[in-house]
Structure 1
Amino acid sequence: MFTILFSVLLLLACKFSNGVDPSADGKKPLLANYSNQVILDWNQMAYQAMGGPAYQHSLLASRINAMVHLAMHDALNSIAPAYQTYAFFREERDAEPIAAAASAAHAVLTASFPDKKAMLDSALTQSLAKVPTGDRLNRGIALGKEAAGAILAKRQNDGALQDPIAVIDPTAQPGEYQVVTPFNFIFAPFWKQMQPFGLTAPNQFRVGPQPALISQEYARDFEEVKTVGMKDSKTRTADQTAYGKFWYEFSEAGWNRVARAALSGRKLDLLATARLFALVNMALADAYTAGWESKFYYNFWRPLTAIQKAETDGNDMTSADASWEPLLPTPPVQDYPSTHSALGNAAATVLANVLGDKTGFSMNSPTADPATPTRSFRSFSQAAQENADSRVRIGIHFRFSCDAGLDMGGKIGQWTVDNHLKPKVTAIR
């Protein structure tokens, strides 16, 4: 008898923790019955508001994505509380969920891109057109705006809107970062101390030091990127070139696309989807901040500089090539660690925790060769590994930088899942 009773209570607790309203009158919204399409639609709308494939400030994009998805999560979680909230602490169980989610995203994006208001207003109208008019609709709109206001207030003075273009003094010190052509600046040095979304501090997962310039490990990875990453490499395979270009786009854009692709054909309810995208984008934003903190702490040069000036590194196992060029342009920031690798594994770790690592998916990339725009993956970890390896294949990172980035990203992703938006424990009375 006790076993049967315990099983019933356990089923009820699981039901409530998945966003289903526990009220007995049947009049409250059951979020499990709602489509998750509004989350996917506004994830793509955020990308378009930023400028689509043409936008350039990837760090700021990651911050805005996190704000958008945290606002949507908190709004929905206020209607059917199932998870820990992030910035908004109020319950409103009579609000319309689709209206709340769409209005939350709209409010964050309109505050971030006032020049895109007409486009965003049109998108909101489309979202609300599917919702019956009435008091619940009005409550949903108001709730979404309040949830957005809470996250906007939390980030109001974080310093993210500074000019990211910074000049650095030239240096001849071997191993130290120098500007990389075609750029004459370094990007967003202030981001090294950006307020994290989920970490306790930017240096929480600072990586250990890179290999010494005179070490065999450095010479090994130097030779690899010099050989396979050069513009006209004879050893890089056609597939390596293809996935090098495929993953070249900004990592936060690519891994939001991974999340959308992974949900294709899978049934995940509205609130669970909102939580997944909030966790993914928290981890992506924090991986940039943590990566920038480590980059500026070690200030290590890029392969482009290292190979062209190898005669200065003190290592007899390396040789200079003053005309060496990578397959694709090197981003204007330090090499170590690879934040592209960190973001990829941070997102992959969150996705694996929520959906299971062995989730297959296919997706396109705007930076891929038009002839081969689509790649398919068996798991998130496979995608993260290829994403990291791509940076060596196109000549813009040392292997040890990618490995350090993967390790950092895994820690950030796991920390995010373990410490934020966790399922509530429902008291059974």
Structure 2
Amino acid sequence: MHGRTARRREPARRGHRRRIAALAVALAAAAGTLVAAPSPAVAAPNFDGDPIHYWNGVLQQAMRTRSGAPGPLARAAAMLNGAMYDAESSYRLRWHRMTSEPYLEAYRYDAILEGPGEEERVIGRTAYKILLGIFKEQKPYLDQKFTDRFGTRPDEFDLLDHTVVNKVVARMEGARAADGSDDQRKYTGDKVPGAWRPTHYADLPDPSCTQESQAATPHWGEVRPFAIPTGSEYRPPTPDLYGDYDRLLASTAYRDQVDKVRRAGAANAPESERSRDQTAAAWFWANDADRTYKPPGQILQHTREVATAQKLTTYQNARLFALVSLAMADASIAEWDVKYRTPIDLWRPVSAIRDGGLDRNWKPLAGTTPCFPAWASGHASFAGAWAGVLEQYFGTGDIAVTLTTDDPKSPVRSRSFTSFRQAARENADSRVHLGVHYPWDATDGLAVGDKVADYVTTNKLKPIP
């Protein structure tokens, strides 16, 4: 009797299990793409390529429309990649395995089954909202890039917004609120020989740099860092070791620095002073002009090229781009601390050579000069941060790489290197060959970036034992 009862109950149990399974599938679908009514015009998603690469490409294009100093763009990269990494960490925590610590927080969000394209959606919806908060004026472009990827509008309902995406976005935006990045106070210079002054000349006109008040982001060194303790943590000693402008200008070291850039950075420098390859490298690394992706964009591009060559997974890409971007953002803060918050706001080579009475007609290869003090080099600090992070991430710096440029004046589209450090050194030295920096700007900038990278890789996004 007991056996017959069990056999009679078995069809009912199977039916009950089928109903539970159907309910689970329906709930998973709801968790994935719940909408009020299906749209017959919805296009299929186009998840071509890694989502971390895709959204950094969107950021690079947004950077091309912004002018000014690189600090705010580096901050945007850190916010985007820090948030995408935390979104990916949340996805890994919920469905797979999280092998390294989040930047701010990973959320074990509620769901029954993994929805369709969930990893793409968690990353992409987070990226879109972070970018929209930073580049509000570019909403039509960002909307289109979202639709190109997902086939739907970004304002269509997705339960993931409520379970995880909005939490990640709010956490990042809250962490960066009142960080000092919107400080609009103007710069007042020291007005003595050796001190920075506008670099507008009749034969080198630069409408963006005609007065001290136009100095770019003079208080960026006071922005709250993403990782390092303070912006002043890694100040190098030179040329502050001279104490004041008079002692600096009277020193042999300063005169040697000026002479080197006067010879190697002149627009008409002979090949005996600046080789054809050094000229090519100078323009390859420039990316200062509008409609380029600027130095932070080139760092992101080079990170993508290395990651692609090394065949990284999405999770690996998220962590690498976050580490690079955090280091780059903090390097910009540390570098601007050196530029503006130390006793000597060093004038640019064009001012040292022309206003210093060495050659009133001297012109730098670059033509115009960035509108902020020379010491130390922002390009160099970004390069040091990039190389330092990649060396730690891959466990070696001796990886051959081929990298590209966005600068329209570059005579080559790509250059090859035997190591990350070789590429970083060329990036730093290129500023001397463009005539916009002294050699010690390059050396000190590399050192600042390297120290920032060491702190970031040691203290953030650490592997979980």
Under TM normalisation by the shorter chain, which class is it?
0.7 to 0.9
Aligned-residue sequence identity (percent) comes to 28
1:168 aligned residue? 188
Aligned residues of 2:350 and 2:363 also touching (Cα < 8 A): yes
Contact 1:247 1:368 in 2 (8 A): no
Compute the displacement of 1:246 (Å): 1.0
For residues 36 and 347 of structure 1, do their structure 2 counterparts lie closer, same or farther at Cα, with a shift above 3 Å needed?
A: farther
Aligned 8 A contact 1:87 1:151 in 2: yes
Unaligned 5+ segments in structure 1 are 1-26, 28-33, 312-319
Number of residue pairs matched by the alignment: 377
Quick check: 1:270 aligned with 2:314?
Answer: yes
Deviates more, 1:413-422 or 1:183-192: 183-192
Deviations 1:82-105 (A, max 9, x none): 222222342237562211111111
Find the counterpart in structure 2 of residue 314 from structure 1: none
Match of 1:404 among 444, 447, 450: 444
Write the distance in 2 (CA, Å) between the matches of 1:292 and 1:162. 14
1:93 and 1:41, CA in 2 relative to 1: closer, same or farther beyond 3 A? farther
Q: 1:220 aligns with which of 256, 264, 272?
A: 256
Correspondences of 1:1-400 after superposition (within 5 Å): 37-51=50-64, 55-80=67-92, 81-92=98-109, 94=111, 96-129=118-151, 138-139=159-160, 142-163=163-184, 166-169=186-189, 171=191, 173-181=192-200, 182=206, 183-184=209-210, 185-210=214-239, 212-234=248-270, 235-249=273-287, 250-296=294-340, 297=342, 298-311=344-357, 320-328=358-366, 329-355=368-394, 356-369=396-409, 371-400=411-440
Normalising by structure 1, what TM-score? 0.82
Single out whichever of 112-121 and 379-388 deviates more from structure 2.
112-121
Moved more, 93-102 or 146-155: 93-102
- Whether the 8 Å contact between 1:71 and 1:144 is mirrored in structure 2 is no
Residue 163 of structure 1 and its aligned partner are, at CA, apart by 4.2
What is the rounded CA distance, in whole Å, between the counterparts of 2:182 and 2:149 in structure 1?
A: 29
Unaligned runs of 5+ in 2: 1-27, 29-46, 93-97, 201-205, 243-247, 288-293
Question: C-alpha displacement at 1:122, in angstroms?
Answer: 2.6
Please report the TM-score for the alignment, with normalisation by the length of structure 2: 0.76
Paired with 1:113 and 1:149, the residues of 2 have a C-alpha distance of: 16
**Given the superposition, is the C-alpha separation of residues 309 and 238 from structure 1 closer, same or farther in structure 2, using an over 3 Å criterion?**
same
SS of the residue aligned with 2:402?
strand
- Residues 87 and 242 from structure 1, CA distance in 2 versus in 1: closer, same or farther, beyond 3 angstroms? same
Residue identity matched to 2:108: E
Matched residues in 2 for 1:275 and 1:169: separation? 41
In structure 2, distance between residues paired with 1:294 and 1:40: 32
**CA deviation map 1:294-350 (0-9, x unaligned):** 111131111111111335xxxxxxxx1112111112111111111210111111110
| Structure 1 residues 43-80: Cα deviation after superposition (integer angstroms, max 9, x where no partner) | 0101222335x643421111111000011100111222
Equivalent residues of 2:180, 2:222 under 8 A apart: no
Task: Give the conservation status (yes or no) of the 8 Å contact 2:189–2:196.
Answer: no
Shift of 1:224: 0.8
Deviation at residue 209 of structure 1 after TM alignment? 2.7
- Change in Cα spacing, 1:167 to 1:208, as seen in structure 2 (3 Å) is closer
Shift of 1:158: 1.6
Hey, what's the Cα distance between the residues in 2 that align with 1:375 and 1:256? Answer: 16
| Shift in alpha-carbon separation, 1:413–1:35, aligned structure 2, 3 A | farther
Q: Distance in 2 between matches of 1:124 and 1:114?
A: 15
d(CA) in 2 for partners of 1:365, 1:161: 30
When Rg is computed on C-alpha atoms for both structures, the one with the higher figure is 2
The root-mean-square deviation of aligned C-alpha atoms, in Å, is 2.4
